[in-house]
Structure 1
Amino acid sequence: MLGLTRQDFAIRASAFDLTQPWNLLRLIAGAFMLPHVAGKFVAGGLSPGVVGFFTKAGFQPAEAWVVLAALVEAGTGLALILGLCTRFAALGAAGALAVAVYALYAIKGFAWLWNLGGFEYPVFWALVCVAIAMNGFRERAAAA
């Protein structure tokens, strides 16, 4: 069965075995989501710059989209770190990153290099998350 089971909601010691490369990659991918959550807030409220970015990208109401993005990033990041529902958390993170790529494209057009405002960074992490999800589905199928 490739759907959710009780096992998906259990924190297991084996999920933190750093000799396993997929665990290491999963932990790093989850940790990389968290700074993006913090960056959406300033002085106890939403960052005006981030709200402006979401507005410019066409997300209305921008404030609600910023909060939704922060919740998705926090939820998927923590789930990846803890090894909870990993397959679906990784797909959710990839989806959030795909939306970020769309927003960057909507504002700047095709711009690849991250240091110049492009989307290479979120594309890379989205692909990493897809690989994590694929590995999770492969492991689940092998165990079934």
Structure 2
Amino acid sequence: MFGIRKNDFTIEAASFNLSNPWNILRIICGAFMFPHAASKFVNGALSVGTVGFFAKAGFAPPEFWVVLAALVEVGTGIALVLGICTRFAALGAAGALLIAVYALQVVKGFGWTWNTGGYEYPVFWGIVCITVAMNEFKRVNGSK
């Protein structure tokens, strides 16, 4: 089943059982989205540097896209941490990270390592989020 179910919106105690490594990975994926959202703001306003980066990447108007990105990051982060709509939240987070990779490519050109401004970090977390989504689709469909 690939559609949204009523149970997708239920917060379950089993989602916080830390003896299940998938729960740990899902929670970490969600928690890692919050610093990305927070970095888009400085002193209660949009970060001028982030707005400039979005403008250079071709996102117009950049302020709208910065706010949208922050909302996606907060929304997917909350859903992943709480274990609600996990399949779709993980795919949404991976999509946001894919767009970040695209923007880095447009603005900085090819660069791999994160410490030089490359996209190693968002690629890694995007793959992890896709893995979380795949596991959840498998779990929901009753596969082993």
What's the TM-score, normalizing by structure 1? 0.98
**Structure 2 letter corresponding to 1:75:** G
1: CA distance between counterparts of 2:38 and 2:141?
36
The reply to whether residue 89 of structure 1 matches residue 73 of structure 2 is: no
1:48-94 deviation digits (Å, cap 9, x = unpaired)? 01000001111100000000000000000000000000000000000
Partner of 1:142: helix, strand, or coil? coil
TM normalised by structure 2 equals: 0.98
**Deviation of 1:3 (Å):** 1.1
SS in 1 for 2:11: coil
How far off is 1:139 after superposition? 0.5
Equivalents in 2 of 1:104, 1:53: separation in Å?
9
TM-aligned CA deviation for residue 118 of structure 1: 0.1
* CA–CA separation in structure 2 for the residues paired with 1:19 and 1:3: 28
Amino acid at match of 2:130: V
Runs of 4+ in 1 over 4 A off after TM superposition: none
Structure 1 equivalent of residue 36 of structure 2: 36
Q: Which amino acid is 2:30 matched to?
A: G
The structural deviation recorded for 1:109 is 1.0
> Which amino acid in 2 is paired with 1:105?
Q
**Cα separation, 1, equivalents of 2:121 and 2:81:** 20
Unaligned runs of 5+ residues in structure 2 are: none
Letter in 2 for 1:53: F
Determine what percentage of the aligned residue pairs are the same residue.
64
Hey, what's the Cα distance between the residues in 2 that align with 1:11 and 1:142? 19
Indicate whether 1:17 and 2:17 are aligned.
yes
The residue number in structure 1 matching 2:47 is 47
Give the aligned residue type for 2:52: G
CA distance in 2, matches of 1:25, 1:92: 16
What does the per-residue CA deviation read over 1:109-143, in whole Å, with 9 as the maximum and x for residues that have no partner? 11000000000000000000000000000001117
CA shift, 1:2, in A, is: 2.5
